[in-house]
Amino acid sequence: MPLSLLIAIILIIGVVGYVLGRRRAMASAGGDSRGLHSLPVYYGSNVLLSVLVPAFAFIIIALIVIPLYIDTHVSAMITEADIGEGSSLGLVMAEVRRVAEGLDNAVAMGAISDEMARNAGANASDMAQRLRDAGQVITGEVTGNILAAAQEYRATSKILHVGMIVMALVIALGGFAFGYRRTEKDFRARNVVERVILAILIAAASVAILTTIGIILSLIFNTIEFFRIYPFTEFFFGLNWSPSFSGRGGSSELGFVPLLWGTLYISFIALSVAVPIGLFAAVYLSEYASPRVRSVAKPALEVLAGIPTIVYGLFALLTIGPMLTTVFGRDGLGWMGGASSVMTAGLVMGIMLIPFVSSLSDDIINAVPQAMRDGSLGLGATKSETIKQVILPAALPGIVGAILLAASRAIGETMIVVMGAGAAARLSLNPFEAMTTVTAKIVSQLTGDSDFSSPEALVAFALGMSLFVITLGMNILALHIVQKYREQYD
């Protein structure tokens, strides 16, 4: 039975429970809903939730636990001999799963019978050939042991799957009986239902937090792994970034400084574009624009924020880069080697950040009470004096927060850098030279061919961790500033 059918059956049980629960509650109060503790709808919902929550919780847990159990159970069958040179248990297990899946598909297609698939004495190479003939992807060599493991894998997973379905249905029916029997007119159904809803809300909130923790943990473990094989000081203070991709390692220099420098330099240029333009746009929109202009211009500006960064990357590569080259390149001032440069990426990234700065600042400037403007205008200040001396200082904390958020975006940006700034890690002050950033290097280190346990690949996690700490720090600082000064007026 497929999972979707199981879920549908449980839902049907739940809906039936809702109707019956509601009816039973009404009956227990003699048909008058005022005799009930809660509204009739809560009695129905109580039965519905008693069916759905435990059953679905069980299914979720089962779906996580069953594959884990099967893996450990089956991998015990794999011997040292099955794991060839340069291979690992993980690879062999992947092969086992592939064969098991191939058997399933072949049976489903009718290429082999179910008995044949389960036959413990089957010849491994013969079976592999049959599977290949049936169009199944079998990559490695199938030994007898692997075939046996695959057959065991199939058998266990089938038993457990059926067991899970039966168990889930039993739990759903049990929940139904439990909820239905509790239903009578003095049962505090509303309180129970609201408590369950609260629990669901809490669970939803914790998913986001748990995911963050999971991300940090996965970064931390790999980062620790990296620092075990690569010295801490050389990473943080090394001035050279030249990973060797030969796979033998040893000759790689993995210095963080040139990448950090590239990141900060590009972000700096991006912010020097975005902050003035964004702020001026915000002042215009909030103080000078008529409501009609504002209602058109603000969404138009925010459209910029919706453009995928890869499109900005194309813009950098095809438009801004060549434009800068004609002025600063070999035919012009001669400062620029190719179209890729810090300036190219910085300018485009700045354009991308304008709506972040302008939209947030606009909201913040609008939040400054009208009384401040009236007070200043009433003293004979002009509009521009009012903006410069009263509105902007009052909005400053929020604006700083907005700028810091934009800065975190700039630091984390990848695509524009890959396409606009080049890939060479370099410590240079010339903004027309190609440089690269931490994020771009994370991509190139992990998408390369290098072994996952080599320092060249693991360094990506150390880079990611450093970046995470930097942007986290900036976000905390931004939140702190915004919060600390939020209620200064009023």
Partner 1 sequence: MYDTPKSGVDVDAREVKISARGVQVFYGDTHAIKDVDVEIQDKMVTAFIGPSGCGKSTFLRCLNRMNDTIDICRVEGNINLDGENIYDAKVDPVQLRAKVGMVFQKPNPFPKSIYDNIAYGPRIHGLAKNKADLDEIVEKSLRRGAIWDEVKDRLHAPGTGLSGGQQQRLCIARAVATEPEVLLMDEPCSALDPIATAQVEELIDELRGNYSVVIVTHSMQQAARVSQKTAFFHLGNLVEFGETGQIFTNPEDPRTESYITGRIG
Tell me how many residues contact partner 1 (CB under 8 A).
Answer: 21
154 binds partner 1 (CB under 8 A): no
Q: Which amino acid belongs to residue 180?
A: Y
293 binds partner 1 (CB under 8 A): no
Of 268 and 485, which CB lies nearer to partner 1 in the complex structure?
Answer: 485
* β 241-242/253-254 pair status: antiparallel
373 binds partner 1 (CB under 8 A): yes
296 binds partner 1 (CB under 8 A): no
The first and second tokens of residue 316, run together, are 């950098």
Cα–Cα distance measured from residue 482 to residue 80, given in angstroms and rounded to the nearest whole number:
60
Residue in 418, 282, 304 with CA at minimum distance from that of residue 359: 282
Cα–Cα distance measured from residue 237 to residue 230, given in angstroms and rounded to the nearest whole number:
13
Least Å distance, CB 300 to partner 1, is: 22
Residue of the chain from 379, 469, 472, 476 that contacts partner 1 (CB under 8 A) = 379
Cα–Cα distance measured from residue 308 to residue 348, given in angstroms and rounded to the nearest whole number:
12
Query: Cβ(402)–Cβ(357) under 8 Å?
Result: yes
Residue of the chain from 389, 447, 453, 483 that contacts partner 1 (CB under 8 A) = 389
369 binds partner 1 (CB under 8 A): yes
Least Å distance, CB 19 to partner 1, is: 55
306 binds partner 1 (CB under 8 A): no
Of 377 and 423, which CB lies nearer to partner 1 in the complex structure?
Answer: 377
380 binds partner 1 (CB under 8 A): yes
Residue labelled with tokens 């060249």: 456
Mapped onto helix, strand or coil, the DSSP state of residue 436 is coil
Of 236 and 288, which CB lies nearer to partner 1 in the complex structure?
Answer: 288
Long-range contact set of residues 460-463: C-beta below 8 Å, sequence gap at least 24: 461/219, 461/222, 461/223, 461/225, 461/226, 462/222, 462/223, 462/226, 462/227, 462/230, 462/235, 462/256, 463/256, 463/259, 463/438
Cα–Cα–Cα angle for 321, 261, 463, nearest 5°?
Answer: 105
Of 228 and 388, which CB lies nearer to partner 1 in the complex structure?
Answer: 388
489 binds partner 1 (CB under 8 A): yes
Quote the distance between the C-alpha of residue 301 and its chain's center: 26
473 binds partner 1 (CB under 8 A): no
166 binds partner 1 (CB under 8 A): no
The first and second tokens of residue 229, run together, are 């094989």
367 binds partner 1 (CB under 8 A): no
385 binds partner 1 (CB under 8 A): yes
Of 146 and 368, which CB lies nearer to partner 1 in the complex structure?
Answer: 368
Of 91 and 289, which CB lies nearer to partner 1 in the complex structure?
Answer: 289
Q: Segment contacting partner 1 (CB under 8 A): 147-155, 318-326, 366-374, 429-437? A: 366-374
Q: Which residues bind partner 1 (CB under 8 A)?
A: 290, 369, 371-382, 385, 389-390, 393-394, 488-489
